Structure 1
Amino acid sequence: MSIPTPHNAAQKGDIARRVLMPGDPLRAKYIAETYLEDPVCFNTVRNMLGYTGTYHGQEISVMGAGMGMPSMGIYSYELFHFYDVDEIIRIGSAGALQDHVNVRDVVLAIGACTDSSYAHQYCLPGTFAPTADYGLLDKAVKKAHELKIPVHVGNVLSSDLFYNEDPAAAPAWRSMGVLCTEMECAALYMNAARAGKKALAILTISDHIFKKEALSAQERQTSFSQMMEIALGI
């Protein structure tokens, strides 16, 4: 495919080899303007904002991924395959499933269970287990300890459904020890595996499925500083 793609107006060289990907493009704008030096906007197509700047002398990009695995699948695939990106760190929100995981807590996703058929395209003779890059995960755990930020490390659920009609679904995943639910991680991990690249999801708990607690949209956009500090620190 030629550059730019139908979804990204950047040219080769406009995007760093390391990319942070929040779901919300406005969060990408906030991160770029708050944390990066001399950020330059490389994409406004479909308002999926992307920026490249430096952090402590290292070039880094931040770009929105949208909501759901189809959207994450498109943007992360193009970054890996067309823009020579080596690492993508998803920084997003999630809904807690376990009692010991609270609103504003940070979760590092070792693996991503899913109810999606995203892996069907690979024609595998079994069930694929999407997992994080261990090197990135290890760095994130160490950086969290260095910053004295407590984190939960474990399995998450990447679901195609935000509004699920099945009342038994959340309790079932909870019974398997899954920490939280979100909508993009599994597609990112599968794209990275297929491309031979690296990926990690760092998630901040924005709501609790069983305690009925939640952050506002504005709080979700601007209050996830601990997650951002871990991601930028690695």
Structure 2
Amino acid sequence: MQLSIMAIIKAENGQISDKVVILGNMERQKTINSYLNNVEKISEYAGYYTYTGEYNGQKITTVFHGIGIPSMALVVDDLISAGAKKIVRFGSAFSVSENVKPGTAILPIGYSYNFGGVFKQYLGDSYSIALTPDYGMLKAEEEKLSRTGIDKVVGNVFTSDALMTHNKQFAEKLAKDGNIAVELEGAGLYFIAKLKGVQALSVHLAYGNLVTGETLAADKINEKEKKISETLLNLLSQ
């Protein structure tokens, strides 16, 4: 029987794992899927793809979540309705700190965000919510990344609603306010997960640095994303 009240994911009962990796880049989703056995496409709707496979004997679902917080919120809400309990997001980001070089794995201990939109519609005028990850997942992933040789950093990240405003001056302001990177969706994951009581974690690969202008070469992106993909699958299947 098809699950009801699903905005994006069209799935039958039991087709979605309680352990999920969500991604905003289809090539990155293909990378994750390449490590899974018995991969099956569960849903394809409006450009959103959902697959379920196996890793270390555990069922894992991967989902393309689109771009921006509203898209992210729809997908995460759908997944939780389908039974997801642990959701990991693997995304990209741009550093706003001179100390965080391209190629660094960024683990957000919290997200800053523009209050309004999705947040205001869920919360009304009551209060804001601290957007934090599941601490156990954060520590476990930090340990796994330590064994890959990839530089890593834990810190606060800003989720932006307007990519085209990301200039050097904007980056310097974000850094002054205590952020180490900027991206487009992560706050949406931590927000919905917090409201619905499920475990969540984001990991970002820094593609570049908005202050120094440095960027990561395509071959290095591919190499590091493969390593990070394995750590996330091991995290979910442990």
TM-fit CA distance, 1:96: 0.6
Q: Which moved more, 1:109-118 or 1:14-23?
A: 109-118
| Map of 1:113 onto structure 2 | 112
Q: Which amino acid aligns with 1:108?
A: L
TM-fit CA distance, 1:222: 7.0
* Identical amino acids, percent of aligned pairs: 27
| Map of 1:95 onto structure 2 | 94
TM-fit CA distance, 1:168: 4.1
Aligned residues: 232
Mapped partners of 1:160, 1:218: distance in 2: 28
Contact 1:116 1:160 (C-alpha < 8 Å) held by counterparts: no
Contact 2:31 2:226 (C-alpha < 8 Å) held by counterparts: no
**Distance verdict in 2 for CA 1:231–1:102, change over 3 Å:** same
**Distance verdict in 2 for CA 1:221–1:72, change over 3 Å:** farther
Q: Deviations over 1:144-184 (max 9, x none)?
A: 22444331011111111101188643211111231110111
Q: Which amino acid aligns with 2:158?
A: L
Superposition TM-score, scaled by structure 1 size: 0.90
Unaligned runs of 5+ in 1: none
Unaligned runs of 5+ in 2: none
Mapped partners of 2:59, 2:3: distance in 1: 24
Mapped partners of 1:50, 1:125: distance in 2: 35
Mapped partners of 2:72, 2:175: distance in 1: 24
Structure 1 residue 181 and structure 2 residue 212: aligned? Answer: no
Q: Which moved more, 1:190-199 or 1:169-178?
A: 169-178
Q: Which moved more, 1:71-80 or 1:7-16?
A: 7-16
Secondary structure of 1:186 counterpart: helix
Superposition TM-score, scaled by structure 2 size: 0.89
| Map of 1:143 onto structure 2 | 144
TM-fit CA distance, 1:26: 3.5
Q: Deviations over 1:36-58 (max 9, x none)?
A: 11111111112211111111111
TM-fit CA distance, 1:6: 3.8
Mapped partners of 2:231, 2:197: distance in 1: 23
